[in-house]
């Protein structure tokens, strides 16, 4: 058994060490006795996608995100086909903005994006910078992380996380737009395991998942919650 991963713009979209997410995903898969192949792709290297089971793209500066948008525009049909085949596409931080309609800056200028989905992003005068947590409806424990964004992403539906009527992220089929930094998979082993089970089942439906106790990651998660959030409840 083998899972093939494409890490898009590993050199451009890695503002907060988000390649750590790839390392954690690979570790969880290998612990299930599944081989993992990670291919790093940058500008001009994104061609055929059908040989991959998972595509990942992390957070980047506004300048680098524009470069990624320009490079991916011509690959829109390939990405749509990839998602129609129910394969996994994971974005963290501001990378999900690439796949919306546009990003609007403070002057009203709009950068057209891939328009795969109907959400859009608007630059704000005050950056969103803080520790936070949110809930994912399929898990009891919250997802913790960090925000440092100058844009607010707005959409009509398909949100991924929620806390007190505030919505985060975007999900369509197996496209996961996760606007959480951290890296999110290292900090949330319960969420990572949930996602890994789905990735494996998608390609190997008969695979029997082996339960593993990620003690150190879980302890770090619990300690962080105790130190930063006095009252975590739905």
Chain mean pLDDT for the chain: 90
Report pLDDT digits (tens) over 182-191: 899 999 999 9
What gap in Å lies between CA 65 and CA 94, rounded to an integer?
Answer: 8
Cα-based distances in Å from 112 to 28, 34, 43, 221: 36, 39, 18, 38
Distance (Å, whole) CA 230 – CA 4: 40
Distances in whole angstroms, Cα of residue 169 to Cα of each of 52, 80, 91, 231: 23, 19, 10, 23
Domains of the chain by residue range: 2-228
Distance from C-alpha of 121 to C-alpha of 100, rounded to nearest angstrom: 8
pLDDT tens by residue, 153-206? 776 677 888 877 778 889 999 999 998 888 999 999 999 999 999 999 999 999
Contacts of 91 (CB under 8 A, 6+ apart): 56, 57, 58, 98, 99, 175, 176, 177, 178
Q: What percent of the chain has pLDDT over 90?
A: 63
Please give the Cα distance from 103 to 197 (Å, whole number): 33
Which residue is listed with tokens 């309609």?
101
Architecture category of domain 2-228 in CATH? 3-Layer(aba) Sandwich (3.40)
pLDDT in tens, 106-148: 888 999 999 999 888 888 888 878 888 889 999 999 999 888 7
What pLDDT, on a 0 to 100 scale, did the predictor assign at position 112? 93
């Amino acid at each position: 058994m083998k899972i093939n991963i494409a890490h898009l713009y590993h050199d451009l979209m890695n503002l907060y060490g988000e390649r750590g997410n790839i390392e954690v995903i690979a570790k969880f898969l290998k612990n299930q006795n599944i081989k993992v192949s990670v291919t790093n792709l940058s500008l001009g290297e994104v061609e055929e996608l059908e040989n991959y089971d998972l595509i990942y793209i992390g957070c980047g500066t506004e300048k680098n995100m524009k470069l990624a948008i320009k490079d991916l525009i011509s690959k829109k049909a390939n990405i749509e086909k990839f998602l129609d085949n129910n394969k996994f596409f994971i974005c963290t931080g501001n990378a999900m903005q690439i796949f919306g309609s546009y990003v609007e800056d403070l002057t009203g200028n709009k950068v057209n994006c891939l328009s795969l989905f109907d959400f859009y992003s608007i630059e704000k005068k005050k950056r969103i910078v803080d520790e936070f947590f949110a809930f994912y409806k399929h898990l009891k424990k919250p997802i913790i992380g960090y925000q440092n964004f100058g844009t607010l992403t707005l959409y009509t539906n398909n949100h991924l996380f929620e806390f007190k009527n505030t919505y985060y992220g975007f999900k369509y089929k197996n496209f996961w737009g996760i606007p959480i930094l951290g890296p999110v998979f290292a900090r949330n082993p319960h969420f990572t395991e949930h996602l890994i089970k789905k990735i494996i089942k998608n390609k190997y439906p008969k695979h029997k998942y082996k339960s593993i106790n990620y003690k150190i990651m879980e302890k770090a998660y619990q300690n962080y919650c105790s130190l930063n959030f006095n009252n975590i409840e739905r």
